[in-house]
């Protein structure tokens, strides 16, 4: 049976790529090339055996998507925020209605357990919020004699987003919703590892009411279509979520082309500090969820845990018991709490770090059992103790279910080692001493800090983003519009206003 092609969505139509090339996606659980039957019910795989092949975007396809976005721009940006909000609101409802199917698509292509799937809810919430929140305002000023000055916020024009694979619809919605609400038209590139749920959303866009060309979704690999987007001369703003390495390549390409406005959400090596007076049960429960949720494949996972020495043994016992209880298995089934790594490359990278970690520190067997079948790409939760602070595993992002637990004696020492990293996405502190919690929260070099909570805890209206190499800029309900709007100052001379000052227009008076 011929594979069903996941096509590029350009100018409101699904089209094959310019050179008709496709690539396959393999289920990290079964190892099979993914099949449509698995979407409906895992037991129907044998009966409905259509396969997906994904169309691979070329630079010509990116040019076509940009041209469609350019053509759609004048009419889209001329609409009122309320008019632009209508398709956003409809899309929110359509995503909600398709939630179970979207969860299965991500389970299929990247092994994300459906029991951990909140992405449909997250995406719908974003589209719904920005359907009503897009009334950007500028400022006004009477501080220049003889002038009534204003500033206005305007869309950049054609913009782009490049998203990772670990939570596709979280990032698709986080970027598309504010960008479109602001009046931009968009080209979004999915990750080559997980295009299926974004493709399903692409199929909703026409019915939701987006005019052709307003949203274009391309699929393909970074060095081709990603690079073409980063260096495109007509794209004026680009928001990227992914690794530091790719962020650097995008920034280089943007600088070498047109200095497009960039927002980056990058990697992490997040610390959690557990003081001896903390509720250890609570701290152990939260921190193991943070690192083992989605098999360690989250940017903010607390991959370094520092426990005050007197509480370390008790904490490690509680933590290991929780790790051992995780249910590794078929991601499409509700009882599964941990799926496989997203693909073979991801699995091999994690295992390389585990081997490296065995050489430098002590590895604890957590005892979680691998699934009886289809276990090839699963990594059992790994706990390392006593890793040297300068070891590779303490410094680099593993992006797998691997945690290092070290100890400290004093608050000062805890802050010093927690901050000794090039990352700064999320940090957590567990203590019952409020003064200490506040001192530590202030001292942590991190864009987000949890007090008696850890990642993925967040809030819709709080800035999301990182210090240091974990990112540039912030996203949130209240801040994301800023990523997608230019500012313009308009100087208006008013005859008869403030007579004494009229006539002198020198800047800075």
Q: Among 350, 360, 357, 291, which residue's Cα sits nearest to residue 319?
A: 291
- Between residues 411 and 475, which has the closer beta carbon with respect to ligand NAD? 475
DSSP letter assigned to residue 252: H
Interface with ligand NAD (CB under 6 A), residue from 56, 265, 330, 445? 265
- Between residues 109 and 230, which has the closer beta carbon with respect to ligand NAD? 230
Is 234 an interacting residue with respect to ligand NAD (CB under 6 A)?
A: no
Cα separation of 11 and 476, whole Å?
A: 29
Interface with ligand NAD (CB under 6 A), residue from 159, 181, 237, 249? 249
Residue count (the chain): 509
Q: Which helix (H) or strand (E) holds 59?
A: helix 59-78
Structure tokens at 38: 């698995």
- Between residues 166 and 320, which has the closer beta carbon with respect to ligand NAD? 166
CB of 198 to ligand NAD, least distance (A): 10
**Distance, C-alpha 405 to centroid of its chain:** 26
Q: Which residues of 273-290 are buried (b: 16+ CB within 10 A; e: fewer)?
A: bbbbebebeebbebbbbb
By the 8 A CB rule, do 441 and 418 touch?
no
- Between residues 192 and 286, which has the closer beta carbon with respect to ligand NAD? 192
Interface with ligand NAD (CB under 6 A), residue from 227, 349, 360, 452? 227
Instruction: Say if residue 92 is exposed, middle or buried (CB neighbours under 10 Å; 0-12, 13-18, 19+).
Output: buried
Is 480 an interacting residue with respect to ligand NAD (CB under 6 A)?
A: no
Is 28 an interacting residue with respect to ligand NAD (CB under 6 A)?
A: no
- Between residues 278 and 418, which has the closer beta carbon with respect to ligand NAD? 418
Q: In what order do the strands lie in the sheet with 158-162?
A: 13-15, 8-10, 215-218, 185-189, 158-162, 237-241, 261-265, 471-472
Is 460 an interacting residue with respect to ligand NAD (CB under 6 A)?
A: no
Binding window for ligand NAD (CB under 6 A); candidates: 10-18, 29-37, 52-60, 259-267: 259-267
Binding window for ligand NAD (CB under 6 A); candidates: 11-19, 221-229, 325-333, 493-501: 221-229
Is 73 an interacting residue with respect to ligand NAD (CB under 6 A)?
A: no
Is 448 an interacting residue with respect to ligand NAD (CB under 6 A)?
A: no
Structure tokens at 245: 């390495």
Binding window for ligand NAD (CB under 6 A); candidates: 103-111, 180-188, 245-253, 378-386: 245-253
Interface with ligand NAD (CB under 6 A), residue from 196, 299, 307, 323? 299
Interface with ligand NAD (CB under 6 A), residue from 136, 168, 268, 271? 268
Cα separation of 116 and 435, whole Å?
A: 35
- Between residues 144 and 197, which has the closer beta carbon with respect to ligand NAD? 197
User: Is 265 an active-site residue?
Assistant: yes
Residues between 396 and 415 that touch ligand NAD (CB under 6 A): 397, 399
Q: What is the CA radius of gyration of the chain?
A: 25
Is 125 an interacting residue with respect to ligand NAD (CB under 6 A)?
A: no
Determine the straight-line distance between the first and last CA of the chain, rounded to whole angstroms.
75
DSSP letter assigned to residue 403: E
Q: x/- binding map, residues 145-164, to ligand NAD, per CB under 6 A?
A: -----------------xxx
- Between residues 205 and 217, which has the closer beta carbon with respect to ligand NAD? 217
Binding window for ligand NAD (CB under 6 A); candidates: 133-141, 216-224, 283-291, 384-392: 216-224
By the 8 A CB rule, do 347 and 377 touch?
yes
Interface with ligand NAD (CB under 6 A), residue from 243, 349, 391, 452? 243
Residues between 177 and 196 that touch ligand NAD (CB under 6 A): 189, 191-192
Rounded alpha-carbon distances, angstroms, from residue 236 to 66, 249, 417: 11, 17, 39
Q: Among 233, 216, 278, 240, which residue's Cα sits nearest to residue 73?
A: 216
CB of 105 to ligand NAD, least distance (A): 17
DSSP string of 172-233, one letter each residue: HHHHHHHHHHTT-EEEEE--TT--HHHHHHHHHHHHHTPPTTSEEEE---IIIIIHHHHT-S
Residues between 423 and 442 that touch ligand NAD (CB under 6 A): 425
Catalytic residue among 265, 397, 411, 445: 265
Binding footprint of ligand NAD, residue count (CB under 6 A) = 29
- Neighbouring CB atoms inside 10 A of 100's CB total 12
In 3-state terms, what secondary structure has residue 328? strand
Q: Which residues bind ligand NAD (CB under 6 A)?
A: 162-166, 189, 191-192, 221-223, 226-227, 230, 241-243, 246, 249-250, 265-268, 299, 397, 399, 425, 471
Residues known to be catalytic: 265
């Amino acid at each position: 049976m011929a594979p069903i092609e996941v096509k590029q969505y350009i100018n409101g139509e699904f089209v094959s790529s310019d050179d008709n090339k496709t690539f396959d996606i393999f289920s990290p659980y079964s190892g099979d090339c993914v099949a449509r039957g698995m979407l409906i019910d895992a037991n129907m795989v044998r009966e409905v055996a259509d396969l997906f092949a994904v169309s691979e975007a070329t630079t010509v396809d990116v040019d076509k998507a940009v041209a469609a976005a350019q053509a759609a721009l004048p009419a889209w940006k001329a609409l009122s925020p309320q008019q632009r909000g209508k398709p956003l609101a409809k899309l929110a409802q359509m995503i909600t209605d398709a939630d179970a199917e979207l969860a299965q698509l991500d389970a299929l292509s990247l092994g994300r357990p459906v029991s951990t799937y909140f992405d449909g809810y997250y995406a719908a919430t974003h589209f719904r919020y920005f359907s009503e929140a897009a009334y950007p305002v500028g400022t006004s000023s009477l501080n220049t004699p003889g002038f009534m000055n204003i500033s206005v916020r305007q869309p950049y024009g054609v913009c782009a987003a490049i998203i990772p694979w670990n939570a596709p619809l979280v990032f698709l919605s986080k970027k598309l919703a504010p960008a479109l609400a602001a009046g931009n038209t968009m080209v979004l590139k999915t990750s080559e590892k997980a295009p299926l749920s974004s493709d399903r959303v692409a199929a909703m866009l026409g019915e939701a009411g987006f005019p052709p060309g307003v949203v274009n979704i391309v699929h393909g690999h970074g060095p081709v279509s990603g690079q073409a987007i980063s260096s495109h001369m007509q794209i004026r703003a680009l928001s990227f979520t992914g690794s530091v390495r790719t962020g650097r390549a995008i920034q280089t390409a943007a600088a070498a082309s047109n200095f497009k406005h960039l927002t980056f959400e990058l990697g992490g090596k997040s610390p959690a500090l557990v003081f001896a007076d903390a509720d250890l049960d609570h701290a152990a429960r939260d921190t193991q969820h943070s690192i083992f949720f989605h098999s360690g494949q989250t940017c903010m996972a607390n991959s370094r845990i520092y426990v005050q020495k007197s509480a370390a043994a008790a904490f490690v016992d509680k933590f290991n018991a929780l790790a051992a209880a995780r249910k590794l298995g078929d991601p499409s089934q509700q009882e599964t709490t941990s799926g496989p790594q997203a693909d073979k490359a991801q699995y091999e990278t994690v295992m390389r770090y585990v081997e490296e970690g065995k050489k430098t520190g002590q590895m604890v067997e957590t005892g979680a059992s691998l699934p009886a079948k289809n276990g090839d790409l699963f990594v059992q939760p790994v706990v390392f103790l006593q890793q040297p602070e300068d070891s590779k595993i303490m410094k680099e992002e593993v992006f797998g279910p691997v945690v290092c637990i070290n100890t400290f004696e004093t608050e000062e020492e805890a802050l010093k080692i927690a901050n000794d990293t090039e990352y700064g996405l999320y940090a957590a502190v567990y203590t019952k001493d409020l003064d200490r919690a506040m001192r530590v929260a202030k001292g942590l070099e991190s864009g987000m800090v949890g007090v008696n909570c850890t990642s993925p805890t967040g809030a819709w209206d709080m800035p999301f983003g990182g210090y240091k190499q974990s990112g540039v800029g912030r996203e949130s309900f209240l801040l994301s519009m800023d990523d997608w709007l230019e500012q313009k100052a308009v100087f208006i001379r008013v005859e008869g206003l403030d007579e004494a000052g009229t006539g002198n227009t020198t800047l800075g008076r």
